[in-house]
Amino acid sequence: LDDSECYGPVLSRGDDLSKTLRFAGSGDIRGLAFHPLAANKVDRNMEPFIIDVHLPASDQFEVSSHEGEEFIYVLAGTIEIVHGKERYQLQSGDSIYYDSIVPHHVHATGVTDAKVLAVVYAPR
């Protein structure tokens, strides 16, 4: 991928996930590694990512909340999604779609990190 803005279709190749944005929690909480799939697309309404979801360092985590919606499809591993007062366990092949204004958090469960495809919609 080059860094120029694109008004047409944006193509992302499987072997080109080298660009990574990291968002870390506070303290000993491990973050997430976001691999953007359409960073150069101009005027987009959706943000597609491949995300490496790490095992938490502790059972304490921060929830986030923002306008919009999120769709998550588990590619590998298992994850837990905390959405409001509910907890959802997802494994490879499972998906979830939710309103992101509700406080939420995603982390891997089990013995290994997980990998998900996430599409985030945030109104402008």
Tokens of 16: 């080109």
Asked if the structure places residue 84 within a domain, the reply is yes
Asked if the structure places residue 81 within a domain, the reply is yes
Q: What is the CATH number of the domain that holds 104?
A: 2.60.120.10
**pLDDT above 90 as % of the chain:** 52
Provide the domain count of the chain. Answer: 1
Greatest Cα pair distance, the chain, in angstroms, is 43
pLDDT of residue 26 exceeding 50: no
Give the per-residue pLDDT at 122.
86
> Using CB atoms within 10 A of its CB, is residue 96 exposed (0-12), middle (13-18) or buried (19+)?
middle
Q: Looking at the chain, how many residues does it have?
A: 124
Domain encompassing residue 44? 21-121
Give the per-residue pLDDT at 59.
82
Asked if the structure places residue 111 within a domain, the reply is yes
pLDDT of residue 27 exceeding 50: no
Distance CA 61, CA 29 (A): 7
Asked if the structure places residue 8 within a domain, the reply is no
Give tens-digit pLDDT for 32-84.
Answer: 888 888 878 888 889 999 999 999 888 888 899 999 999 999 999 999 999 99
